[in-house]
Structure 1
């Protein structure tokens, strides 16, 4: 496949790029600072772009089979950035007639797992209160997806870890894995690449966790 990755210098974004190249895909990595991208390869094109102008982004998505986004707030003070940048990506995709989009959201943005235990409900509520502005941003991002013409998938992980790829995790389309508290960034990237060609995940939120 011919893929474009936004947020390619982030923890999940770099994993998407690395794993996609290893799988034989062509990858366009859209970044603000190319020096922060540590992944290299002959099938990698690095594009420096300001994500405030859809016309500047349009060439980076035109003709691609899918777009994957690891864009997101790095802290609570960045709340709002995900929606703003995603609007640019959506506008560029619409102009280029590219439909498939997968992006990283968060577990608490979607529905709680069925028969969720007390400790998990309590932890979920606490985290949601602390990061309420970040999650409000992600909910608005998902609302933008729902209003768009794209074949989107919102991937919703719990707490992220910097651990090696396992390739073993649970996914729930339209829900969240019961008792799922952690997942490695590498496995989120793996899940996103796996879902790229999965029609069951189109226009769905998908919970992913160990």
Structure 2
């Protein structure tokens, strides 16, 4: 299939492009900084575009079979609009180009239910601290994005991972339309799920949790990474 990937130069986006091309799909990797993107891979084309630029999004979306959004924004105090504005431009471009399949990423926090199997400290203190204080602007815009995607007429699927971490290969991860136990999702697993959903019938018009169950980091590692960037 012909896939276009937004957020391709991020850690998840790079995994998506690598896995998709390795599986034999033709990929257009969209990034604001094409010079920083590793090129030379067969079946890969790199295009410069900003997801906040509607006409540019229209240009790079044309001629593809499915769209993958792996957009990601770090936590911060300033208002975030990348997710909602970006998916507004993407869905409009898809409508104009007659493209049906859309797969994108938000967060397991948006299930709005307590983390199953977790203790009181995690459920009532740690997760609310990240959701409502540290990452509030990011999650607010993810919610806006999800509403835009939900209201569209496309065959969309939204993947909601937990705390992201890096591994060398895809594991036997879990996928479900409800919040799963566990605190982590490997980027390799998330990328695999994104590509699989995009190139198959998958789970249209569904929010899916994707969760890694083996080789996950500790809670201390998560806190250090999310709160202090280490």
Global fold match (TM > 0.5): yes
Match of 1:205 in 2: 207
Q: In 2, Cα distance between the equivalents of 1:39 and 1:185?
A: 20
* 2:75 maps to 1:75: yes
Task: Give the RMSD, CA atoms, in angstroms.
Answer: 1.9
Q: In 2, Cα distance between the equivalents of 1:85 and 1:6?
A: 9
Q: Which has the larger radius of gyration?
A: 2
Note the 1:64-103 alignment, pairs <5 A: 64-76=64-76, 77=78, 79-103=80-104
Unaligned runs of 5+ residues in structure 2 are 213-230
Match of 2:160 in 1: 156
Unaligned runs of 5+ residues in structure 1 are none
Q: In 2, Cα distance between the equivalents of 1:89 and 1:116?
A: 37
Counterpart secondary structure, 2:92: helix
* 2:119 maps to 1:124: no
Q: Number of paired residues? A: 208
Q: TM-score, normalised by structure 1?
A: 0.91
Cα drift, residue 78 of structure 1: 5.9
Note the 1:1-210 alignment, pairs <5 A: 1-76=1-76, 77=78, 79-112=80-113, 115-119=116-120, 120-122=122-124, 123-129=126-132, 130-173=134-177, 175-178=178-181, 180-199=182-201, 201-210=203-212
Q: In 2, Cα distance between the equivalents of 1:113 and 1:209?
A: 15
